[in-house]
Chains A and B, each alone.
Chain A
């Protein structure tokens, strides 16, 4: 009984959906049909009388193609959960020049409204998505449109056929009813594969998007690299270099005092030795910040183990393999773990942390979990945003789950081939 009820419900819902899909798919053909009707209506022996309706139909098609495609995408997303990216080109910024005119990337306009309008038209004209939408409005009626029209057509045949007394008409009515009922649950499902096939971004569009993304990333990386080099230069200049100068001076003075005042010379030498030790310590810290020696010597897993040992937290590391990855990826992940452990100890007031390094066929996943107070948010200039940026260079992602009250779990995933 319950099965029957659920079947009836699904058939009714399916019938409704088929009607909606058919209606949306047939919008553009309806415009053309109307144009043809008007042409026939105006027919006076001159075929050129169809020009005006034909133009109307063209304009209607252009105007309707994008809304129709949008409706298809939202219907498919709502009913099946398959999200199809639109891939429309976004208009760029419109800026006012010093002359008072507005520049929209293509031309100068007197007002910002004109500039935006002009830009919108040009963007739309050049956007490959527009042509793809047009193609879809031509394909949709003869594929999903026809399939989804079957149940309503069957119902119409049933109503018409059964209202006639003739046996043949009644037979057609019964057949129509059977088709309508049988197809109701299935017809609308054809919308998904067709939309996925013809509405998604084309390879060229995906490529263009990827190029934009990579350009932005490259700019980011270059800026970050320059900043890093400046920091290293400053550290060396203010630290080790200055100390070595002082060291040289102490030694020169000691050499001079050796004969006349040996005690003073000895004191200076002691001082010089202390200076050398300090500059070594500074250099060691600097090197650790650039490229941690343990990472070079042992690879990621042991380097993370060393981090865990040095951390003020009670940190455990679980790693299934001794893997070697590309050095830049290892370095990014290492500094990521270091940052997360520091955050856990400093901001989250955690006492324990669990680090796991797992490798599978597609990439490497490093997860850091602490028992701190949670509630982590990503600020644009914060460490986590920086971490995300550093990993995005390798197409890596950072997932953060941190409910207020903890625990915080951060998962870094980088797709890669191991060496």
Chain B
């Protein structure tokens, strides 16, 4: 894959590039500031971009803004956001346009290289990938309690993994259940939540998150 890496800290940028190259991907451009990131994303149109939230010149949410701006120009441009902390607020903003191809992870996630590359590939394929920490926050906040109250504990767990972006097969492996059992859970869950079932990961996550967004 052709990848753009936007990260202002040299050590981290270097580490990410090395990791990506070790897995046979090609880093076509790097950026260290917000404007540079927007420029690189629009010029190179990469298969996927890895973008840090906080970057110069203001050290605020430069990277996130650049990514959102680029996605407004090129809808569905796959972007994986990395950050030292996760906020539901940012996750919701990323998912708001509903076109998929977004990921949002803590920087720690690069510790588990396999999982990181897996998530990156999911995002490049137009799916979504969310850090478990984001999902935990999304599912445990007050507004979701009321709406998800009708779900059983098992359905809740399935919903959480589904929101991370996992397929039925992967969820089955995590929960030590068969794929058909999972699909039974998802069907009953979608019924309770009033969402029409669909086969792609992307639509499933978006449906769940859109549901969390709109009371």
Contacts and interface: CB of A to CB of B under 8 A. Distances in A.
A352 B84 CA distance: 30
A273 B111 CA distance: 7
A284 B61 contact: no
A293 B85 contact: yes
A294 B89 contact: yes
Given A298-B61, A306-B87, A311 B108 contact: no
Contact of B85 (A276, A288, A311, A312): A288
Q: Name A's interface SS.
A: helix
B92 to A, nearest CB: 8
Contacts of A309: 87-89, 92, 137, 141, 143
Interface in A269-298: 273, 276-277, 280-281, 284, 287-288, 293-294, 296-298
Given A297-B61, A311-B141, A311-B142, A284 B111 contact: no
Contacts of B107: 280
A209 interface: no
Contacts of B54: 293, 297
A419 to B, nearest CB: 14
Contact of B108 (A277, A297, A305): A277
Contacts, number: 59
Interface residues of B, number: 22
Nearest to A309: B88
Contact of B143 (A281, A293, A314): A314
Interface string B55-66: 000011100000
A213 interface: no
A315 B145 CA distance: 12
B134 to A, nearest CB: 11
A309 B60 CA distance: 20
Interface string A349-391: 0011000000000000000000000000000000000000000
B111 A277 contact: yes
Contacts of B60: 296-298
Contact of A312 (B84, B87, B111, B141): B141
A313 B106 CA distance: 25
Interface of B: 53-54, 59-61, 84-85, 87-89, 92, 106-108, 111, 137, 140-143, 145-146
